[in-house]
Structure 1
């Protein structure tokens, strides 16, 4: 299928044309957004975050993203002053300020630093909200998505879930970053990480699915509860494809008929090579393509959509 094309941006020469940001109660052009270098969000990666997409003027599954963001914040004891309704309104206003029809909209909760005279402990550091809206970002270049991603299984293991809860979307990306360098050094597009037992987890910014004999499978341990992952599981039910949420061994992944990844930054994306093995004549597989086409067609029809309120500015 041809990738959906973002709508042309309005010829906006305002300060918000490159993006709009909200930092601790203040709206500003993205270029002006800053955090103090002493804040623990920067110094200790003490941050949780979420990202929701806007396409054709509508947020996709914003309720699910806000629910996940709230769960991440509460788990990490990072709770800002803003309510979920406040955050929703902020995200709408940011997209409206930037004048975007297709957008990547991020929300972070960042820990500051302990106030002078208090114990140097995170309980004394105030969490605060950052959010921004910029033009839509594709996880991979459109030409890579069309021909299928070339992936490798990284030797770097995923941080164990006993150390860092992958369900709380966080900035602990040392393993992901190392795996990205591994993939690049091997001439691949992206990596897939395993856990210490050799089971599939996820990749940098995406969940992983494999399809064998018409059965779809996706890992359920040490992975983010991806919103696009949830969408793929729903689409499998709609299309009559069995979908199992369970451990997926590296051997099952290597031998799969099809492999796909799912991300807010692109939806379902097919894999055409894994560690040099060519799948489906070096193209995304037929069931992967069906899932991808259905996903984008339903989004065009308003599936799980919430129109952006462009009147907020």
Structure 2
């Protein structure tokens, strides 16, 4: 009797990854054009969510933007925990953080470059994770103040400080600031307190102290904000959180902004008022934060 050919055992995990890579290869740059929808792999340009999905149709959910540096997601657990907190504050079902973490690991398989991962969880139970190259865009150096009536103090309404999928007011404020000649908006509460940018945190240096708008104002307790504050403390810089009007930012020695996929950036102007050109603390903080993002 002829000896049968021995079949090689195929690892289910390796087989699944291979299938994912073939799906992702349908897009031009497969390494940085990936998605997973409810655990299903897809090329980013081919990923779909049902048109009747209330979560996406109504923005009824929360999201996180995670910076990826040299292939590693920065402070992923912090992002996922904040996602869960946003869902809880909005009285939405708790997301499956283990599944989301597995989705992030899957889209980052064999990635070793800088990128951005976005994680979405909706009230209808849909979960989406996407991977793209970090966006190439001009740094926001000149801000124009814009009213932000949707930013309310903690305790006054459930969604204060929540990073929800409903970002239309933020984007509209940014467009209004650009129409007025700025790069982006500086959001100011109804009470006149400086809050944040549409997609970034804001803080400033004055007399050797870092001033950060307090989370009690209803600003997003962003991971980049935390990273800047921690870096400042490690450098021996005093940090205070509080409520300040626009005049405090205009009188600052340095004003800086930060987000998940941007370096720490020093502003040059607010409402046409020129800020000091020397930004030694912002430069130091930018170096420290970037080193930590890269695990150095």
The TM-score, its normalising length taken from structure 1, stands at 0.79
* Contact 2:39 2:103 (C-alpha < 8 Å) held by counterparts: no
2:18 is matched with none
Alignment of 1:276-295 (within 5 A): 276-281=272-277, 285-295=279-289
Q: Partner residue of 1:199?
A: 193
Q: Which has the higher contact order (CA 8 A, sep 6+)?
A: 1
Q: 1:49 aligns with which of 60, 63, 66?
A: 63
Partner of 1:86: 99
Measure, in 2, the Cα distance between the counterparts of 1:29 and 1:100: 18
Could you tell me which runs of 5 or more consecutive residues in structure 2 were left unpaired when the two chains were aligned.
1-23
Matched ranges for 1:257-296 at <5 A: 257-281=253-277, 285-296=279-290
In the other structure, the counterpart of 1:70 is 84
Per the alignment, do residues 212 and 265 of structure 1 end up closer, same or farther by CA in structure 2, a change over 3 Å counting? same
Residue 142 of structure 2 is matched in structure 1 by 150
Q: Cα RMSD over matched residues?
A: 2.2
Question: Match for 1:109 among 107, 121, 126?
Answer: 121
Residue of structure 2 in register with 1:120 after alignment:
none
Q: Whole-Å Cα distance in 1 between the matches of residues 241 and 128 of structure 2?
A: 33
Could you say what secondary structure the match of 1:280 adopts? coil
Give the Å deviation of 1:270.
Answer: 1.2
- The alignment's TM-score, normalised by the length of structure 2, stands at 0.83
Q: Distance in 2 between matches of 1:80 and 1:90?
A: 16
Structure having the higher Rg: 2
**1:241 paired to 2:230:** no
Structure 1: distance between partners of 2:126 and 2:173: 30
Q: Tell me the secondary structure at the aligned position of residue 78 of structure 1.
A: coil
Gaps of 5+ in 1: 1-12, 113-126, 304-313
Match runs of 1:15-26 below 5 Å:
15=26, 17=30, 18-26=32-40
1:311 match: none
Does the 8 Å CA contact 2:119/2:127 hold for their aligned counterparts?
A: yes
Aligned residues: 267
Residues 35, 130 of structure 2: 8 Å contact kept = yes
Quote how far apart the aligned CAs of 1:52 are. Answer: 1.1
Q: Distance in 2 between matches of 1:79 and 1:32?
A: 27
Measured after TM superposition, the shift of residue 158 of structure 1 is 4.0
Q: Deviations over 1:266-303 (max 9, x none)?
A: 1321111111111123xx62211111122113333x15
Give deviations 1:65-105, integer Å, cap 9, x for gaps.
111111112222333663x22221210111227x4521110
SS in 1 for 2:126: strand
CA contact (8 A) 1:156 1:178 kept: no
